[in-house]
Amino acid sequence: MPKLRTTSGACWIWFGDAMKKFLLIILLLLTTSIASAEELPFVDNFIPQSDYRDRLTDEYTLKHYGKICRTIVPQAVVVHWTAMGTLESNRNFFSGAERSDGTLNVASQFLCDRDGTIWRLMPETNFARHIIGYNHCAIGIENVGGYGGREDLTDAQLAANVRLIKYLHAKYPTIRYVFGHYQQNAARASGLYVELVTGYHSIKSDPGPTFMRGLREQLEDDGLIFYDE
Ligand SMILES: [Zn+2]
């Protein structure tokens, strides 16, 4: 009997070890899949928010859109280039609350470096001033580059923008349009354009037709609407 008990005990020890290993493997697989499911296409590096910035946002949105909107329901993604600077210098530029004329400073929700690294500069449904007429409903992606107006955005930026827009589209089914800043007039066909100040507009060339064609090729099948040149 003692022998049998020993065998039975050894058996239980073996079974216990195997079970531990099995559970460990399951745990590892679960952790890995949770980690990859939560892997975001950006890292957070928020610009400072303040009561003063909120007040300037209120003034801007009331004047240009006829309502106070500190947050938005995203219906479009607008793609830009910075035309100057680095990831850090552009973030610094956007960090100030006001422009030299005392109005709300420009900013965007996302900033993409030339190697494809993306910084989220604020919660993505926060209001940001990046394109006349559409800020009330558009998430902005600024891409570092476009120096001297040249179409010099990189393949890494294209891939990163595709990944980010897919992420945003999945998260916000209200997003239907993707356009470049230079396509702001064509995008009026969306019906989203609102600007209460007569004659308030600017001419833009960012981020260039090559980049927008690249985005369109990879995203149009997702049911997003793009514009011709
Ligand atoms: Zn722009």
pLDDT score for 6: 47
Work out the mean pLDDT of the chain and round it to a whole number. Answer: 91
Nearest-angstrom CA–CA distance, 45 and 52 = 20
Residues 6+ apart with CB under 8 A from 116: 154, 156, 157, 159, 160
- Kindly give the distance from the C-alpha atom of residue 110 to the centroid of ligand 1, in angstroms, as a whole number: 12
Asked whether the beta carbons of 216 and 155 are under 8 A apart, the reply is no
Domain boundaries, the chain: 1-39, 43-222
Max Cα-Cα span within the chain: 99
**Banded pLDDT at 174 (limits 50, 70, 90):** very high
- Kindly give the distance from the C-alpha atom of residue 68 to the centroid of ligand 1, in angstroms, as a whole number: 23
Q: In terms of Cα–Cα distance, which of 92, 108, 182 is closest to 146? A: 182
Predicted TM-score (pTM) of the model is 0.84
Nearest-angstrom CA–CA distance, 108 and 127 = 8
CA 40 to chain centre: 10
Q: Does the structure show a pLDDT above 70 at 2?
A: no
| Locus of tokens 């690294």 | 117
- Kindly give the distance from the C-alpha atom of residue 66 to the centroid of ligand 1, in angstroms, as a whole number: 23
CATH 3.40.80.10 fits 43-222, yes or no: yes
Residue 102 carries which side chain, given as an amino acid letter?
G
- Kindly give the distance from the C-alpha atom of residue 65 to the centroid of ligand 1, in angstroms, as a whole number: 19
- Kindly give the distance from the C-alpha atom of residue 50 to the centroid of ligand 1, in angstroms, as a whole number: 24
Lowest mean pLDDT among 34-43, 81-90, 159-168: 34-43
For residue 18, the 8-state DSSP code is: H
- Kindly give the distance from the C-alpha atom of residue 46 to the centroid of ligand 1, in angstroms, as a whole number: 20
Residues 6+ apart with CB under 8 A from 223: 176
- Kindly give the distance from the C-alpha atom of residue 109 to the centroid of ligand 1, in angstroms, as a whole number: 13
Torsion sign over Cα 21, 26, 32, 35? negative
**Banded pLDDT at 1 (limits 50, 70, 90):** very low
Nearest-angstrom CA–CA distance, 10 and 8 = 5
